[in-house]
Amino acid sequence: MTVYPLAEKQALEAQLAEVRATDIAGVIEKIQGLMVEYELTVDDIATKRRRGRPAAGAEKGKAATKAKSELPPKYMDPKTGATWSGRGRAPAWLGKNRARFLIAEA
């Protein structure tokens, strides 16, 4: 009886899939047992881990970011009414002479 390599390969792959399925079932049972033993939930296991240091206050249950207060504008374009606080990249309308766009403090 002649066995063709393709048929032999398919038979081996079927056996491998069967063995893997039984192994996976055993692993799942083991994981479920450990989850019950240590009182873990799916959320405990599926949490994402980030690289680097944790965010400030993250270990204490606080929000990682603080609400940033908006800065009052220092400069204003009289044509469009656009304002700039003086932080970050300067807008194009400001040009080189910033003094003429400076808002007088009240």
- List the domain boundaries for the chain: 5-49, 67-106
Name residue 45's amino acid: I
Quote the CA–CA distance of 79 and 89 in Å, as a whole number: 20
Q: Does the predicted TM-score (pTM) go above 0.75?
A: no
pLDDT digits (tens, 9 = 90+) for 23-41: 998 999 999 999 999 888 8
Q: How confident is the model at residue 16 (pLDDT cuts 50, 70, 90)?
A: very high
